[in-house]
Chain A
């Protein structure tokens, strides 16, 4: 047994050293190849930048990977008309074809790069390839494909995307908010349907609410208010409903915001104070002034901030609190007034 430990250690150390030697050799060889690729990249860059049309000469024999990677890098560096121009050049150089082939790679990373690259091309073949990729075995690649499709003009139905991404069963990333935002402006009804679909996980519905809030679409306000009023006081979703109402900034959120300010939940009061300020809900001034004495700093801070957003009404309350409030309220009010240069 003891001898076996020694033999095994020798075997493992020897094998590791042998593999490392091989890797060093491969590295030496690949360094030459990398140098060649870098040189090719240096030759290609000025050709791509020089003219409006894709270069016809000087790229023969150049590795596909160089052309693909460089064009993608250039596209990501620019915006507007220049980006459209580079996308056109890349398409003529066959970059989307290569990326579509790359989608079949075994390597997850290569597939991800292909999806992110194809997101830049809004042609039918790329769209079909991305639709197929919604069936990829990897969650993140499916989400990346969905994001790419969501950005295009000819996007699939949101319900279909949610189903194919498996969002009904899985945790959701913040990127789902980005995905829903793509739909919030053009297809707000689809996002609204997600919000109201009680079979969906809460995280997905909240992401849909946040996306809708960013778009400023206030048609959902009554529904969110209703959800906010019905949400349990200590629930995770209540602050997010209130936050969304603040983002939308519609006065119809009044009841939910006032109820939120009276909540026992600290995150809910913080979110409600933020919403009251954004909506400029003057009738919340007394409640906000009361919250300046709350034990939690975030509540005091957001309440003071909200009072400042209310204008003169709020500033008067802050001055009163700074002069004669409780110890915590005095400090919060005085510091916030001083911070904004409003100290008497």
Chain B
């Protein structure tokens, strides 16, 4: 122990207590989410086969336009579109938006489907880069192609929503692999509560390592890549625990851009996706909350636990780091844009719980946690804080972290049982423990980078080089 003035001991204790308190509040949030997620899973509708769903909803299911933005996707676009056209849903249209691709995405589509330029009267409510051409395929009445100048994903989605003529729009990433009955499952909240439901999100799972045929995941397998494997547990936690729990609490603030089903009019009313943020998916949901609360209308933004889509996760530290920094930036940008909602009683639980969670987890979370790594062990080694402080810090970082991850896995296994083999459970349990030692810290470093980029007002998405699915 060093000799130091009393105030230094006191200051060291206060700093450590602040770090521990922030960690404990986060853990408490997570435990509450777990409990609500468990409740939601217990109360979820019976899992019905596609044909049973069709029997039930076939004649009342509202029509849906799937908006699939495509940028430089010439290699995979046909397979993706084929998979979309083969979805099981009574009434839908696929609107592919070529966002000024520099490769042959447009020509590939035109040639493959013998598409012809057409006129189509469409809305101009949402702003986007100019449309260069509209195309339809005589043999594929469900397929429509919009060719526009490059403007980014949000811009392309806005163009697709403008062109859509259906009450519901489903926005996806061009490389999202949808389950064949994804729309039938996702539309359910709109059928159960048509007056109030404005948006629905569904579970996205990691396709790395899975066997993919014709744009479909035909065999779910765990990835072999370290980073992808870590993300399997992360996605489980993010979707099964966080989003399901928050949805049950009616405080869901994000529906992933990889799959979201929205009431078209509601999206138009809030101005569509914002092109000036990298967190446009979160920002849209926050705008929907804001508008409905401002209008004092009853509404629901719902998350369904059924897996509806698969996505390719980054497999290298560089790309994953970029993605996480971007996500962090997106959260911060959304928080800044709507900061007046934070703890504002006018916005009810969205302002207090939803934004409270964003503040504690996304805004100050990475800063406090990294500060903890840098300060608490040295303070203990210098003798400025007692061993109990160090233990409490280790608890909020590591052991509670293990508990939350493993508890999510328990929830998955008890309620859903989507992992095909017992061996997968063992592997993921090991990952749930190990991710707290190294990967979590790396993630926080990336999130701090996102904070730095936010402060420097960095724009754009950075590189996302895809490896491609393991296709048969």
Question: Are the C-beta atoms of A2 and B391 separated by less than 8 Å?
Answer: yes
Question: Are the C-beta atoms of B429 and A5 separated by less than 8 Å?
Answer: no
The residues of A that contact B119 with a CB separation of less than 8 Å are: 335, 338-339, 343
The residues of A that contact B392 with a CB separation of less than 8 Å are: 2-3, 5-6
Question: Are the C-beta atoms of A174 and B399 separated by less than 8 Å?
Answer: no
Q: Which of A2, A3, A5, A332 touches B121 (beta carbons < 8 Å)?
A: A332
Q: A150 CA to B430 CA in the complex, in Å?
A: 51
Q: A181 CA to B464 CA in the complex, in Å?
A: 50
Min CB gap A153→B, angstroms: 18
Question: Are the C-beta atoms of B395 and A173 separated by less than 8 Å?
Answer: no
Q: A4 CA to B74 CA in the complex, in Å?
A: 58
Besides A3-B391, A27-B422, A27-B425, 14 more A-B contacts (Cβ < 8 Å) are A6-B395, A6-B399, A9-B403, A24-B426, A27-B413, A31-B422, A108-B42, A174-B194, A177-B60, A297-B123, A298-B123, A304-B121, A331-B121, A339-B119
Q: At the interface, yes or no: B124 with Cβ under 8 Å from chain A?
A: yes
List 10 tightest A-B contacts by C-beta distance, closest first. Answer: A335-B121, A338-B119, A9-B395, A112-B46, A9-B399, A2-B388, A16-B406, A6-B391, A297-B123, A76-B51
Q: At the interface, yes or no: A323 with Cβ under 8 Å from chain B?
A: no
Question: Are the C-beta atoms of B125 and A24 separated by less than 8 Å?
Answer: no
A-B contact pairs, 6 of them (CB 8 A): A5-B20, A5-B395, A140-B192, A147-B56, A175-B192, A301-B121
The DSSP consensus for interface residues of chain A is helix
Q: A297 CA to B124 CA in the complex, in Å?
A: 8
Residues 1-23 (chain A) with a chain B CB within 8 angstroms: 2-3, 5-6, 8-10, 12-13, 16-17, 19-21, 23
Min CB gap B471→A, angstroms: 26
Q: Which of B46, B123, B165, B413 touches A116 (beta carbons < 8 Å)?
A: B46
Residues 267-292 (chain B) with a chain A CB within 8 angstroms: none
Q: A31 CA to B423 CA in the complex, in Å?
A: 11
Q: What are the interface flags for B390-403 relative to A under an 8 Å C-beta threshold, 1 for contact and 0 otherwise? A: 01101110011011
Q: A338 CA to B117 CA in the complex, in Å?
A: 11
| Given A116-B48, A177-B60, A335-B120: A13 in contact with B194 (beta carbons within 8 A) | no
Q: Which of B45, B192, B391, B406 touches A20 (beta carbons < 8 Å)?
A: B406
Q: At the interface, yes or no: B212 with Cβ under 8 Å from chain A?
A: no
Q: Which of B47, B118, B123, B406 touches A339 (beta carbons < 8 Å)?
A: B118
How many interface residues does A have (CB within 8 Å)?
A: 49
Residues 377-433 (chain B) with a chain A CB within 8 angstroms: 386, 388-389, 391-392, 394-396, 399-400, 402-403, 406-407, 409-410, 413-414, 417, 421-422, 425-426, 429, 433
Q: At the interface, yes or no: B14 with Cβ under 8 Å from chain A?
A: no
Min CB gap A286→B, angstroms: 21
Question: Are the C-beta atoms of A31 and B191 separated by less than 8 Å?
Answer: no
The residues of B that contact A5 with a CB separation of less than 8 Å are: 20, 24, 391-392, 395-396
The residues of B that contact A177 with a CB separation of less than 8 Å are: 60
Q: At the interface, yes or no: A28 with Cβ under 8 Å from chain B?
A: yes
Residue of A nearest to B409 (CB): A20
Q: A85 CA to B255 CA in the complex, in Å?
A: 45
How many interface residues does B have (CB within 8 Å)?
A: 57
Q: At the interface, yes or no: A263 with Cβ under 8 Å from chain B?
A: no
Q: A76 CA to B42 CA in the complex, in Å?
A: 26
Q: A76 CA to B48 CA in the complex, in Å?
A: 11
Min CB gap B354→A, angstroms: 23
The residues of A that contact B409 with a CB separation of less than 8 Å are: 20
Q: At the interface, yes or no: B55 with Cβ under 8 Å from chain A?
A: yes
B residues engaging A (CB < 8 A)?
20, 24, 42-49, 51-52, 55-56, 59-60, 118-125, 165, 190-196, 386, 388-389, 391-392, 394-396, 399-400, 402-403, 406-407, 409-410, 413-414, 417, 421-422, 425-426, 429, 433
Q: A6 CA to B119 CA in the complex, in Å?
A: 67
Question: Are the C-beta atoms of B195 and A113 separated by less than 8 Å?
Answer: no
Q: What are the interface flags for A88-119 relative to B under an 8 Å C-beta threshold, 1 for contact and 0 otherwise? A: 00000000000000000000111011001000
The residues of A that contact B402 with a CB separation of less than 8 Å are: 13, 16-17
The residues of B that contact A332 with a CB separation of less than 8 Å are: 121
| Given A13-B403, A27-B413, A335-B119: A171 in contact with B195 (beta carbons within 8 A) | yes
Q: What are the interface flags for A312-344 relative to B under an 8 Å C-beta threshold, 1 for contact and 0 otherwise? A: 000000000000000000011001101100010
The residues of B that contact A335 with a CB separation of less than 8 Å are: 119-122
Residue of A nearest to B298 (CB): A171
Q: What are the interface flags for A183-217 relative to B under an 8 Å C-beta threshold, 1 for contact and 0 otherwise? A: 00000000000000000000100000000000000
Residue of A nearest to B48 (CB): A116
Question: Are the C-beta atoms of B403 and A6 separated by less than 8 Å?
Answer: no
Residue of A nearest to B125 (CB): A297
Q: A6 CA to B396 CA in the complex, in Å?
A: 8
Residue of A nearest to B425 (CB): A24
Q: A178 CA to B195 CA in the complex, in Å?
A: 16
Question: Are the C-beta atoms of A116 and B52 separated by less than 8 Å?
Answer: yes
Q: Which of B118, B403, B425 touches A23 (beta carbons < 8 Å)?
A: B425
Question: Are the C-beta atoms of A339 and B121 separated by less than 8 Å?
Answer: yes
